[in-house]
Amino acid sequence: MSKRLNIILCAALATSSFAVEKRKIDFVVGVDGDFKAALAAAGSSGASAAKQFIIFLPDGEYELTKLTADSHGKTTVSASYVSIIGQSLEKTVISNKTDTESIGHTATLYFPKNNGMYLQDITLQNKSTFCGSSACRQVALQQNEGDKYVYKNVRLLSGQDTYYTKKGRTYWEGGEIDGTVDFICGGGDVFFEGTKLVMTRNGGYITASQSNTDWGYVFNNTTINVSNSSYNGTFYLGRSWARAKTVFLNTKMVAQPTAEGWGPDMNSAPAVFGEYNSKDGNGNAVNTSQRKTYFNGGKDGSTATTLKTVWSASDAAKYTLANVLGGSDNWDPTKLTAQAGTPKIEQQGAEIAWSDDNNARAWVVFVNGKYKANVVVPSFSLDGIAEGSKITVRAANSMGGLGASSNEVTTVEANATYYKVTIGEAIGGTVISNIAGDKVMEGKKATFTAQPFAGWTFAGWTFDAGSGPNIAGLGLDGSSATLEITAECDIGLTPSFEAKGTTKFQAETGIIENAINESTNAGFAGTGYINFGTGTSSVKVPVYAEAAGEYKLTMTYANGSGNARNLSFKTDRSDAQEMAFDATTNWTTYEKKEATVKLPEGASYITFSIVGGNDGPNLDQLELTLVKADEIPDWIITAEPRMQITPTTHVRLFSPTGKLLRESTGKALNTAGLPRGVYLLQTREGSRSVQKTIRIE
């Protein structure tokens, strides 16, 4: 009976099974590139509600007018599920200047149709003073459509129309908005919690609502102030742009509006103007006895109405966050703004260490107040950090927002030995570890967990030559997905993964270059498909073959472009082939193309690339059907492939528990008579020792 020996393959990425998945910050501006590069990376990242793309900006001013803006000075951010995180509200500033005035052409940042946007600890400032004949509209933030916008501790600075909204649900927590006229204007349902509103002129209007939704603008626990004391008592809470809905609840009025509170209507009378429990800066009730109640409708007198504008507790009771923003999906944005815990750090030898936090996505390390690194394990190596440096750490929540700073530690000299950590690359899974980078301090317990992708299973560990730790010597189980090794020397290890019984593989699980993991066009299998880009665009899709040989490759795709689009594809055993993928009825119509490829036994990649820099079809799923398997001879266990057996080569075979089963010197070992399963193969040539995990079937 023939037996096949499968050398366990290798692995190398990182994920987590924690409450919040451990993932590094995706793009640090000034380290990974400029803000233009950050937006491009976000656009091609395949970001989704489950995979938020995080952009971090260290303190500094980022002037966009000549970098990302159009001819008027407006920068458009098209990608959804993107977080833009600053180091601090006061010192991280994104700014622009414009050559015109309008809502549509001047925004410092413009979100046209985005979902799941999150901003924290940052200032957006439109510095333009350009005015037209009757207006000086200079927008700092414009959001037209989309849903679920979240702004935590964000400051907007401009004059007229500082913040424009149109549709969707938005949540503000803290932060500040400054302006002169209608500086919060538009539609949608927006809930402001604890936001500071600053009037910067005499006789201005805070809001100009144009409501097309159920709730409009709801301000709760906000503070109203002025930039100059002479403006106190001259401004208005708002005016009706069209059927306005604006409510102020529990407001602290350090500066107060005019006695009537609400200004004259523009295009129509308001639908809802309400105020409840307003207090002055000392906590005393504001006199609201003269608040305006009749509204003439402005340009549309037919809408004239009388409203109750000073409310009781029962009037205000329904304006809760859950009612205003919950919607049919019970959205609770406070789950997104909740901050991870504050780390308590200390120096341990040549490392800064702190306790793990299941609610932290990553930690950002600052040296002398400046960004240094972000890590996904609760430690940071001081290798290369000068003695006397001041270290602080902040935890990032699931959206990338940074919590409070840790205590500050001033580094002292530490003599410590470090060992190299090498994790080999594998197909079909990832490795999570408590080790950051490629070094580990002597005596530290290093943990490695092999985690397979969906449809794959863990198959065993292999230790590299010269790595020191080995399963037989340490009593470790090579079939256990988690290894704990106390660092005493260099550590080199690789896990392997299998996908036995699986014939269908999803393109979106591959390694993507300049393409998008997308799920916009329905009808796909799995969780999405690959939307290729232009120029250079490819995806390496992991597949598994039970036997080496020739396979029929069935590719499911969509091509709603109206014209055929080409892709090139190759395997480890087949040269590149080019194929035209005919147009389909639309982008939600999926069809199949077939080809023949040769594959090695076990895990490998099929690489798909666009041709001639031109866009390709959307690639959904691959299916493999064996056509003809290679002839399989009896396998004989030999030394590690890079070694040749000599008369002095010592070959030994162990059970997973370390029991010696067979050994030989100067010749190979045959597997005859051994049951199926995982074994440990060790070869020694002089001082060089190599250990491999093998599977016999």
User: What is the DSSP track for 161-230?
Assistant: T-EEE-SSEEEEES-EEEESEEEEEE-SEEEEES-EEEE-STT-EEEEEE--SSS-EEEES-EEEESSGG
Same-domain check for residues 607 and 682: no
Same-domain check for residues 641 and 624: no
Position 438 in a domain: no
Q: Which domain CATH number covers 604? A: 2.60.120.260
Same-domain check for residues 279 and 235: yes
Same-domain check for residues 183 and 323: yes
391 vs 28: CA distance, rounded Å: 19
Distances 357 to 15, 20, 343, 402, 513 between C-alpha atoms, Å:
15, 9, 9, 13, 32
Position 377 in a domain: yes
Name the percent of the chain lying above pLDDT 70. 87
Position 394 in a domain: yes
Which among 292, 293, 288, 209 has a CA at the least distance from the CA of 244?
209
Q: Which domain CATH number covers 388? A: 2.60.40.10
Position 460 in a domain: no
Say whether pLDDT at 21 is over 70. Answer: yes
Average pLDDT in the 331-335 region?
97
Count Cβ atoms below 10 Å from residue 45 Cβ, excluding itself: 19
Distance of CA 368 to the CA centre of its chain: 27
Average pLDDT in the 428-446 region?
85
540 vs 234: CA distance, rounded Å: 64
Say whether pLDDT at 89 is over 90. Answer: yes
Same-domain check for residues 201 and 310: yes
Digit-coded pLDDT (tens) for 508-534: 989 888 888 888 899 999 989 999 988
Same-domain check for residues 667 and 557: no
567 vs 563: CA distance, rounded Å: 13
Position 231 in a domain: yes
What's the confidence (pLDDT) of residue 432? Answer: 87
617 secondary structure, DSSP code: P
What's the confidence (pLDDT) of residue 134? Answer: 82
Domain count, the chain: 4
- Whether 66 contacts 35, CB under 8 Å: no
pLDDT, the chain, mean: 88
Same-domain check for residues 385 and 321: no
Position 264 in a domain: yes
164 vs 186: CA distance, rounded Å: 6
- Whether 336 contacts 399, CB under 8 Å: yes
Say whether pLDDT at 23 is over 60. Answer: yes
Name the percent of the chain lying above pLDDT 90. 67
Same-domain check for residues 179 and 312: yes
- Can you give the residue range of the structural domain that contains 402? 344-410
Average pLDDT in the 466-484 region?
62
Count Cβ atoms below 10 Å from residue 596 Cβ, excluding itself: 12
Position 678 in a domain: yes
Of the residues 329, 361, 381, the one at which a domain ends: 329
Of the residues 360, 377, 410, the one at which a domain ends: 410
108 vs 469: CA distance, rounded Å: 55
- Whether 3 contacts 635, CB under 8 Å: yes
Same-domain check for residues 285 and 181: yes
Q: Report the range of poorest mean pLDDT among 318-332, 492-506, 663-677.
A: 663-677
Decide which of 636 and 679 is more confident: 679
- Whether 584 contacts 559, CB under 8 Å: yes
What's the confidence (pLDDT) of residue 639? Answer: 38
- pLDDT-based confidence at residue 672 (cuts at 50, 70, 90): low
Of the residues 410, 431, 447, the one at which a domain ends: 410
Q: Which domain CATH number covers 219? A: 2.160.20.10
Q: Which domain CATH number covers 661? A: 2.60.40
Position 465 in a domain: no
Decide which of 697 and 346 is more confident: 346
Same-domain check for residues 221 and 301: yes
Average pLDDT in the 207-215 region?
95
Decide which of 689 and 274 is more confident: 274
Average pLDDT in the 446-468 region?
79
What's the residue count for the chain? 697
Digit-coded pLDDT (tens) for 600-612: 988 899 999 999 9
Average pLDDT in the 59-86 region?
97
Average pLDDT in the 609-625 region?
96
Say whether pLDDT at 467 is over 80. Answer: no
User: Highest mean pLDDT: which of 8-17, 205-214, 635-644, 686-695?
Assistant: 205-214
Average pLDDT in the 263-290 region?
98
Same-domain check for residues 558 and 677: no
Average pLDDT in the 51-80 region?
96
Same-domain check for residues 625 and 643: no
What's the confidence (pLDDT) of residue 3? Answer: 30
